[in-house]
Amino acid sequence: MNQPTALQISNMEGPGALPRSNGELIFNEPWEARAFGMAVAMESQGTYQWEDFRSRLIKQISQDGQQDAEPEYYQQWFAALEDLAVSFGFVTEEELDRRTQEIASSEEH
């Protein structure tokens, strides 16, 4: 099976399609572009198969669509990336929680 290119990934269609304006990808915050880049870079290095991420993203979007407050697209993207990272053993839930607390704590100061 051929690996998708970054261009093919950025041109995804369907439920996981990336937000666009006039054909250009939309990133409202720098972290959104970084999360996108991390997912694409890890896939292009062979760390995982794109479908592993894409299926998680579609599942996340579907789950969030059943709730009252729908999160932003890249929050869903990041949640899917976290799920993939934990599932593949790149990081543990505890490590994610600890690091999240560290970042939140440093932003308060």
CB burial of residue 57 (10 Å; 0-12, 13-18, 19+): buried
Mean pLDDT along residues 69-82: 86
pTM confidence score: 0.78
Local structure of residue 23 (DSSP, 8 states): T
> CB count, 10 Å around CB of 105?
9
29 in a domain, yes or no? no
- Is residue 3 very low, low, confident or very high in pLDDT (cuts 50, 70, 90)? low
33 in a domain, yes or no? no
89 in a domain, yes or no? yes
58 in a domain, yes or no? yes
- Residue 104 CA to residue 109 CA, distance in Å, equals 9
Write the pLDDT tens digit of every residue in 94-103. 999 999 899 8
Mean pLDDT along residues 39-57: 92
35 in a domain, yes or no? no
> CB count, 10 Å around CB of 71?
14
Domain count, the chain: 1
Q: Which domain holds residue 62?
A: 43-109
